[in-house]
Structure formats: C-alpha cells, structure tokens
Structure 1
C-alpha cells in the first residue's frame, strides 16, 4: 500500500503511485506503439516493463516522488501514466506522461501532467523539472506549454530533433533573502 500523501486527485482523475497491481495495465500501455512509440526508449518488452516498475516502486520509497497510474476519478479505469523520473542523459528530473489514444483530446494529459508538475514543485520540493518531446510531437508540446513549461534547449537524438522544456519553481521572498 502506497503512502496516501503520494496520491493526487484532480477534477476528473486520481493519480496513484504505480505498484505491482498495475503491472498488466502498464504492460498493455508500454508495449502498445500507439501509446509509447514516442517515449524515450520507445515501445517496451514485458520484461523491461517489469524492470521499470521495480525501479518506479523503489523511487517512491527513496525519493517521495515517481510515476503514477492515471485513473478515472469516478470509474477507477486505467487511463495511462504520468510522473517524475531522473532522465538517463543527466538533464534532470523529468515529467513524463502517456495516455491511451482513446482518451486523448479531452484535456486529460494536461490535467494529469499539470498535477504531477505541481506535486513535483510543491510536495517533492523540486526546484527545476524538465520534459523532453520530439519536435514533431505537437500534442505533447501543446500539453507542456499549457501547463506552463517553456522551451529551453534543443538536441538531436537518433537523427530526430528533440526539444527540452523546463519549469522552475518560483522562490518565495523568504528564500530569496539572505
């Protein structure tokens, strides 16, 4: 059972830290090219999903943040995932999100990613959060802009132009004085 303080509710969604009970849903999502082809590392094997889930469960215990299963607030249906994880390229803690194509277009990615971003700055105390999107992934770029992230860097990965977005927490007056 995860810490209730790690759960987040929005107007239409409930974000719960991923756990072993989510394995089947995560395997279905992460092995589906419609949902995961544009994610870092691309479509996963079942074995890689198991490894990632173990890493995600450990991250919650060690860091107090990680990846959430995104569920309908009233239905409990698994809609996708969002969360915060260290990028393997050392760019920092990154916001990630992937929802089933069937639920896209209703603002749910924006709602889930925005909640994860607020949690990262507020509860987890992260000063800077990044997100990376393919330059041609206009849907993800729209979500990132809508939640207040700004483009700050470009790079090329496997001949594909990539854009880095960031969100920097505002410092309070007390933090700024010294």
Structure 2
C-alpha cells in the first residue's frame, strides 16, 4: 500500500486511498470475480480492461481531484473499492462501490460510500451526485439509502430495471 495522499481518508475501520498501480493485482481479482462485479456497469472485466480503467482512474484524480479509492482494512487487507466517476451515459458524476462478498453485511460499504459522498460534496464541491443500482440489488439500495441518497428515477437497460439515486447539497448545506 502506498503512503497516504491528500485524497486519502481513514475511518474507524477503513483506510481509503486513491487507486494506483500498486492496486492492480487486487483490482484484477475483484473486477474479474462475478460474485463481486457482475452487477456493476459493464460487468466482469478482463485483466487488460482493468488495467485500462486503472489508468483512467489515475488520470481522473489528476484532472478532477476525485476518482476511485481502494478500500482496505486498517491492517492493509484489500476489501473493495468506492469512488466517483463520470458515467458514460451522461447522467453525471456517480458514486460507485464494490466489495468482496466475504466482507459484506457489516456496514463497510456504507462507511466507505458515505465517506466518498461527503468528499464529493465537501471537498470536490459537487452539488449533485448520482448512483445507479439494479432494482433487484437490495444490498446496494440499502447502502445508498443509508447514506442519504434518494431514488429519483428509473430506466431499463438490457431488460433490467435500474434505479437512479441522487444526493444534492447546495453550497450552504454543508
């Protein structure tokens, strides 16, 4: 794991740092596993695609001052990822998260995604952040609701209903 940067965050249980080349092996494993990534936009990835996305994620940090974080336990174990990205469908900046199934169900996704959302509004100055979840992905929907995001729209892609959540905070909303 790399030294903490200005964009890194630590919670009571997690250490979040912008993704970097040192995360490639963990990201290939996570994004290549259907248990962890089948429901994500674009689905399971091949190693070359993961490397290309990592390069883009690193560029996004430099360009926008936000992007994807690797999420690790305080002792350094890779647990998953969360972050902010521009959706390719033009819907806006979206909050994303994916964790290993073995660490789900204890609030880690809510903890990490909540930190990313607070960063988006507070540090990055984004007034609006969206997230998209499959209608049948109750776990993701619970995370989004638990961090204060509200369902505002829905659409169908590939015969599957997707729900759009958003968080809007004005400059004085803190």
* Band the TM-score falls in, shorter-chain normalisation: over 0.9
1:39-66 deviation digits (Å, cap 9, x = unpaired): 0000001110010000000000111100
Which 4+ runs in 1 deviate beyond 4 A? none
* Matched ranges for 1:88-99 at <5 A: 88-99=88-99
Q: Highest CA radius of gyration, 1 or 2?
A: 1
* Matched ranges for 1:1-178 at <5 A: 4-73=5-74, 75-172=75-172
CA distance in 2 between counterparts of 1:11 and 1:169 reads 25
Q: Is the 8 A contact 2:4 2:17 kept in 1?
A: no
Partner of 1:176: none
CA distance in 2 between counterparts of 1:51 and 1:24 reads 13
Name structure 2 gaps, 5 residues minimum: none
Q: Is the 8 A contact 2:128 2:169 kept in 1?
A: yes
Q: Is the 8 A contact 1:150 1:166 kept in 2?
A: yes
1:77-107 deviation digits (Å, cap 9, x = unpaired): 0000000000001000000000000000110
TM, length-normalised to structure 2: 0.96
TM, length-normalised to structure 1: 0.94
Q: CA deviation at 1:171?
A: 3.4
Name structure 1 gaps, 5 residues minimum: 174-178
Q: CA deviation at 1:170?
A: 3.4
Number of aligned residues = 172
CA distance in 2 between counterparts of 1:13 and 1:57 reads 21
Q: CA deviation at 1:5?
A: 1.5
Q: Is the 8 A contact 1:2 1:17 kept in 2?
A: no
